[in-house]
Amino acid sequence: MLKLSKRLQKIADYVSMGSRVADIGSDHAMLPVYLLQSNRCPSAIAGELNRGPFEAAKKQSADAGLTSRLTVRQGDGLNVLISGEADTVTIAGMGGSLMSDILEAGFTAGKLEGVTELVLQPNVGEELVRQWLLKHHWFLKAESILEEDGKIYEVLHAVRSDDAVSRNSELYDGHFLALNLETDLLFKVLMQMGPYLLRDPQPALFKKWRHELNKLERICESLAGSDLAESAVKREQFLAEMHVIKEVLQCLRTDNP
Protein backbone atom coordinates (compact mmCIF):
# COMPACT_ATOMS: atom_id res chain seq x y z
CA MET A 1 0.00 0.00 0.00
CA LEU A 2 1.19 3.52 -0.75
CA LYS A 3 2.68 5.36 2.21
CA LEU A 4 1.25 8.86 2.30
CA SER A 5 2.83 12.03 3.63
CA LYS A 6 1.50 13.21 7.00
CA ARG A 7 -0.46 15.92 5.14
CA LEU A 8 -2.17 13.55 2.68
CA GLN A 9 -2.78 11.00 5.46
CA LYS A 10 -4.69 13.61 7.47
CA ILE A 11 -6.85 14.32 4.41
CA ALA A 12 -7.42 10.58 3.87
CA ASP A 13 -8.43 10.14 7.52
CA TYR A 14 -11.25 12.65 7.10
CA VAL A 15 -12.76 10.83 4.10
CA SER A 16 -15.80 8.84 5.25
CA MET A 17 -15.60 5.09 4.92
CA GLY A 18 -17.41 3.78 1.84
CA SER A 19 -17.72 7.10 0.03
CA ARG A 20 -17.07 7.55 -3.66
CA VAL A 21 -14.34 10.16 -3.82
CA ALA A 22 -13.31 12.73 -6.42
CA ASP A 23 -9.83 14.18 -5.91
CA ILE A 24 -9.53 17.43 -7.85
CA GLY A 25 -6.02 18.60 -8.77
CA SER A 26 -4.83 15.10 -8.00
CA ASP A 27 -1.35 15.32 -9.56
CA HIS A 28 0.14 11.81 -9.05
CA ALA A 29 -3.20 10.51 -7.70
CA MET A 30 -1.49 9.38 -4.49
CA LEU A 31 -4.54 10.17 -2.36
CA PRO A 32 -7.17 8.27 -4.40
CA VAL A 33 -4.81 5.32 -4.89
CA TYR A 34 -4.31 5.09 -1.14
CA LEU A 35 -8.06 5.43 -0.47
CA LEU A 36 -8.76 2.51 -2.83
CA GLN A 37 -5.86 0.34 -1.64
CA SER A 38 -6.91 0.77 1.98
CA ASN A 39 -10.50 -0.06 0.99
CA ARG A 40 -11.73 3.15 2.51
CA CYS A 41 -13.39 4.01 -0.82
CA PRO A 42 -14.97 1.66 -3.37
CA SER A 43 -14.22 3.93 -6.35
CA ALA A 44 -12.51 7.19 -7.13
CA ILE A 45 -12.08 9.86 -9.77
CA ALA A 46 -8.85 11.80 -10.13
CA GLY A 47 -9.25 15.15 -11.90
CA GLU A 48 -6.31 17.08 -13.34
CA LEU A 49 -6.12 20.26 -15.38
CA ASN A 50 -2.62 19.82 -16.74
CA ARG A 51 -1.32 17.15 -19.09
CA GLY A 52 1.85 16.21 -17.13
CA PRO A 53 0.08 15.48 -13.84
CA PHE A 54 -2.84 13.90 -15.74
CA GLU A 55 -0.41 11.42 -17.37
CA ALA A 56 1.28 10.84 -13.99
CA ALA A 57 -2.11 10.05 -12.41
CA LYS A 58 -2.97 7.59 -15.21
CA LYS A 59 0.38 5.85 -14.75
CA GLN A 60 -0.05 5.65 -10.98
CA SER A 61 -3.52 4.14 -11.42
CA ALA A 62 -2.23 1.58 -13.95
CA ASP A 63 0.89 0.68 -11.91
CA ALA A 64 -1.31 0.07 -8.87
CA GLY A 65 -3.65 -2.14 -10.94
CA LEU A 66 -6.57 0.10 -10.09
CA THR A 67 -7.85 1.25 -13.51
CA SER A 68 -11.21 -0.46 -12.96
CA ARG A 69 -11.85 1.53 -9.77
CA LEU A 70 -9.93 4.76 -10.42
CA THR A 71 -11.00 6.93 -13.33
CA VAL A 72 -8.53 9.64 -14.30
CA ARG A 73 -9.95 12.63 -16.18
CA GLN A 74 -8.39 15.77 -17.57
CA GLY A 75 -10.29 19.03 -17.06
CA ASP A 76 -10.77 22.20 -15.07
CA GLY A 77 -11.84 21.77 -11.46
CA LEU A 78 -15.17 20.04 -10.87
CA ASN A 79 -16.00 20.04 -14.60
CA VAL A 80 -14.58 16.52 -14.75
CA LEU A 81 -17.51 15.29 -12.64
CA ILE A 82 -21.00 14.26 -13.62
CA SER A 83 -23.44 15.44 -10.93
CA GLY A 84 -24.16 12.69 -8.43
CA GLU A 85 -21.00 10.71 -9.20
CA ALA A 86 -19.10 11.47 -6.00
CA ASP A 87 -19.98 11.58 -2.29
CA THR A 88 -16.73 13.20 -1.20
CA VAL A 89 -14.65 15.84 -2.96
CA THR A 90 -11.07 16.38 -1.88
CA ILE A 91 -8.99 19.33 -3.08
CA ALA A 92 -5.48 19.78 -1.72
CA GLY A 93 -2.21 21.56 -2.28
CA MET A 94 -3.39 24.76 -3.95
CA GLY A 95 -4.17 28.29 -2.77
CA GLY A 96 -7.45 29.09 -1.05
CA SER A 97 -8.39 31.57 -3.77
CA LEU A 98 -8.13 29.01 -6.58
CA MET A 99 -9.83 26.42 -4.38
CA SER A 100 -12.82 28.65 -3.69
CA ASP A 101 -13.03 29.57 -7.40
CA ILE A 102 -13.13 25.85 -8.24
CA LEU A 103 -15.84 25.25 -5.62
CA GLU A 104 -17.89 28.24 -6.79
CA ALA A 105 -17.71 27.23 -10.46
CA GLY A 106 -18.58 23.65 -9.54
CA PHE A 107 -21.48 24.77 -7.37
CA THR A 108 -22.85 27.01 -10.15
CA ALA A 109 -22.61 24.13 -12.63
CA GLY A 110 -24.45 21.79 -10.22
CA LYS A 111 -21.40 19.55 -9.79
CA LEU A 112 -21.72 19.50 -6.00
CA GLU A 113 -25.19 17.98 -6.09
CA GLY A 114 -25.06 14.72 -4.16
CA VAL A 115 -21.69 15.58 -2.64
CA THR A 116 -22.01 15.28 1.13
CA GLU A 117 -18.45 15.91 2.25
CA LEU A 118 -15.55 18.18 1.33
CA VAL A 119 -11.98 17.70 2.53
CA LEU A 120 -9.92 20.75 1.67
CA GLN A 121 -6.28 21.58 2.24
CA PRO A 122 -5.49 25.10 1.06
CA ASN A 123 -1.80 26.00 1.15
CA VAL A 124 -2.57 29.68 1.83
CA GLY A 125 -5.73 31.80 2.10
CA GLU A 126 -7.58 29.38 4.37
CA GLU A 127 -10.03 32.15 5.31
CA LEU A 128 -11.30 32.30 1.71
CA VAL A 129 -12.21 28.62 1.90
CA ARG A 130 -13.91 29.02 5.29
CA GLN A 131 -15.85 31.97 3.85
CA TRP A 132 -16.95 29.92 0.84
CA LEU A 133 -18.11 27.06 3.07
CA LEU A 134 -20.04 29.40 5.35
CA LYS A 135 -21.68 31.24 2.45
CA HIS A 136 -22.84 27.97 0.92
CA HIS A 137 -24.09 26.52 4.23
CA TRP A 138 -21.56 23.72 4.59
CA PHE A 139 -20.96 22.89 8.24
CA LEU A 140 -17.27 22.98 9.13
CA LYS A 141 -17.11 19.74 11.10
CA ALA A 142 -13.42 19.63 11.95
CA GLU A 143 -10.07 21.11 11.09
CA SER A 144 -6.46 20.23 11.79
CA ILE A 145 -3.10 21.90 11.64
CA LEU A 146 0.12 20.00 11.16
CA GLU A 147 3.76 20.56 10.37
CA GLU A 148 5.71 18.54 7.85
CA ASP A 149 9.12 19.22 6.33
CA GLY A 150 9.19 22.71 7.81
CA LYS A 151 5.79 23.66 6.35
CA ILE A 152 2.52 24.11 8.19
CA TYR A 153 -0.71 22.87 6.67
CA GLU A 154 -4.37 23.23 7.60
CA VAL A 155 -6.96 20.63 6.62
CA LEU A 156 -10.69 21.46 6.68
CA HIS A 157 -13.49 18.89 6.82
CA ALA A 158 -16.95 20.14 5.87
CA VAL A 159 -20.24 18.28 5.62
CA ARG A 160 -23.77 19.01 4.56
CA SER A 161 -26.09 19.43 7.49
CA ASP A 162 -29.71 20.59 7.73
CA ASP A 163 -28.79 22.80 10.67
CA ALA A 164 -25.51 24.05 9.20
CA VAL A 165 -26.52 27.69 9.61
CA SER A 166 -27.14 27.49 13.36
CA ARG A 167 -24.17 25.15 13.96
CA ASN A 168 -21.85 27.46 12.04
CA SER A 169 -23.11 30.53 13.84
CA GLU A 170 -22.28 28.83 17.15
CA LEU A 171 -18.91 27.73 15.79
CA TYR A 172 -17.97 31.20 14.56
CA ASP A 173 -19.00 32.94 17.76
CA GLY A 174 -15.65 34.10 19.08
CA HIS A 175 -16.74 35.04 22.56
CA PHE A 176 -14.96 31.98 24.00
CA LEU A 177 -11.77 33.97 23.42
CA ALA A 178 -11.05 36.13 26.44
CA LEU A 179 -10.59 39.18 24.22
CA ASN A 180 -12.10 42.60 24.33
CA LEU A 181 -12.81 42.82 20.60
CA GLU A 182 -15.92 43.76 18.63
CA THR A 183 -18.04 40.81 17.48
CA ASP A 184 -17.17 41.48 13.81
CA LEU A 185 -13.47 41.48 14.53
CA LEU A 186 -13.77 38.27 16.58
CA PHE A 187 -15.57 36.66 13.62
CA LYS A 188 -12.75 37.77 11.29
CA VAL A 189 -10.17 36.27 13.66
CA LEU A 190 -11.98 32.92 13.65
CA MET A 191 -12.24 32.96 9.84
CA GLN A 192 -8.54 33.66 9.53
CA MET A 193 -7.14 31.45 12.25
CA GLY A 194 -9.71 28.64 12.36
CA PRO A 195 -12.55 28.19 14.88
CA TYR A 196 -11.45 24.69 15.97
CA LEU A 197 -7.74 25.52 15.80
CA LEU A 198 -8.33 28.39 18.23
CA ARG A 199 -10.42 26.25 20.57
CA ASP A 200 -7.69 23.63 20.80
CA PRO A 201 -4.48 25.51 20.03
CA GLN A 202 -1.57 23.31 19.00
CA PRO A 203 2.13 24.27 18.80
CA ALA A 204 1.86 24.44 14.98
CA LEU A 205 -0.77 27.18 15.28
CA PHE A 206 1.54 29.35 17.39
CA LYS A 207 4.40 28.66 14.99
CA LYS A 208 2.33 29.59 11.93
CA TRP A 209 1.13 32.89 13.37
CA ARG A 210 4.52 33.86 14.78
CA HIS A 211 5.84 33.34 11.26
CA GLU A 212 3.01 35.49 9.84
CA LEU A 213 3.83 38.19 12.38
CA ASN A 214 7.48 38.16 11.25
CA LYS A 215 6.38 38.54 7.63
CA LEU A 216 4.07 41.44 8.47
CA GLU A 217 6.82 43.04 10.53
CA ARG A 218 9.18 42.97 7.55
CA ILE A 219 6.49 44.44 5.27
CA CYS A 220 5.86 47.23 7.78
CA GLU A 221 9.58 48.00 7.95
CA SER A 222 9.78 48.37 4.19
CA LEU A 223 6.55 50.45 4.05
CA ALA A 224 8.00 52.76 6.72
CA GLY A 225 10.70 53.77 4.21
CA SER A 226 8.14 54.95 1.64
CA ASP A 227 6.89 58.55 1.26
CA LEU A 228 3.63 57.50 -0.38
CA ALA A 229 0.42 58.23 1.52
CA GLU A 230 -0.98 54.80 0.55
CA SER A 231 2.06 53.12 2.12
CA ALA A 232 1.34 54.83 5.41
CA VAL A 233 -2.30 53.68 5.25
CA LYS A 234 -1.26 50.12 4.42
CA ARG A 235 1.28 50.12 7.22
CA GLU A 236 -1.38 51.23 9.72
CA GLN A 237 -3.63 48.40 8.55
CA PHE A 238 -0.87 45.83 8.94
CA LEU A 239 0.09 47.18 12.36
CA ALA A 240 -3.54 46.89 13.48
CA GLU A 241 -3.67 43.33 12.11
CA MET A 242 -0.47 42.45 13.96
CA HIS A 243 -1.85 43.89 17.16
CA VAL A 244 -4.91 41.61 16.94
CA ILE A 245 -2.82 38.52 16.14
CA LYS A 246 -0.53 39.24 19.10
CA GLU A 247 -3.51 39.67 21.40
CA VAL A 248 -5.02 36.38 20.23
CA LEU A 249 -1.75 34.48 20.70
CA GLN A 250 -1.30 36.04 24.11
CA CYS A 251 -4.79 35.06 25.23
CA LEU A 252 -4.35 31.49 23.92
CA ARG A 253 -1.05 31.21 25.73
CA THR A 254 -2.65 32.41 28.96
CA ASP A 255 -5.40 29.82 28.58
CA ASN A 256 -2.84 27.10 27.69
CA PRO A 257 0.27 27.65 29.76
- Which positions lie near ligand SAM, rule CB under 6 A? 24-27, 47-50, 53, 76-77, 92-94, 98, 102
Compare residues 147 and 247 and give the one whose CB is closer to ligand SAM. Answer: 147
Least CB distance from residue 64 to ligand SAM, whole Å? Answer: 16
Closest of 114, 93, 90 to residue 103, by C-alpha:
90
Q: Looking at the chain, how many residues does it have?
A: 257
Compare residues 48 and 143 and give the one whose CB is closer to ligand SAM. Answer: 48
What are the angstrom distances between the C-alpha of 101 and each of 16, 92, 131, 136, 140?
24, 14, 12, 13, 18
How far is the C-alpha of 213 from the C-alpha of 206, rounded, in Å? Answer: 10
How far is the C-alpha of 20 from the C-alpha of 40, rounded, in Å? Answer: 9
Compare residues 61 and 168 and give the one whose CB is closer to ligand SAM. Answer: 61
Compare residues 53 and 195 and give the one whose CB is closer to ligand SAM. Answer: 53
Compare residues 52 and 257 and give the one whose CB is closer to ligand SAM. Answer: 52
Burial 223-253 (b: 16+ CB within 10 A, else e): beeeeeeeeeeebeebeebbebbebbbebbe
Least CB distance from residue 31 to ligand SAM, whole Å? Answer: 6
Least CB distance from residue 11 to ligand SAM, whole Å? Answer: 8
Least CB distance from residue 81 to ligand SAM, whole Å? Answer: 11
Least CB distance from residue 80 to ligand SAM, whole Å? Answer: 8
| Cα Rg of the chain, angstroms | 20
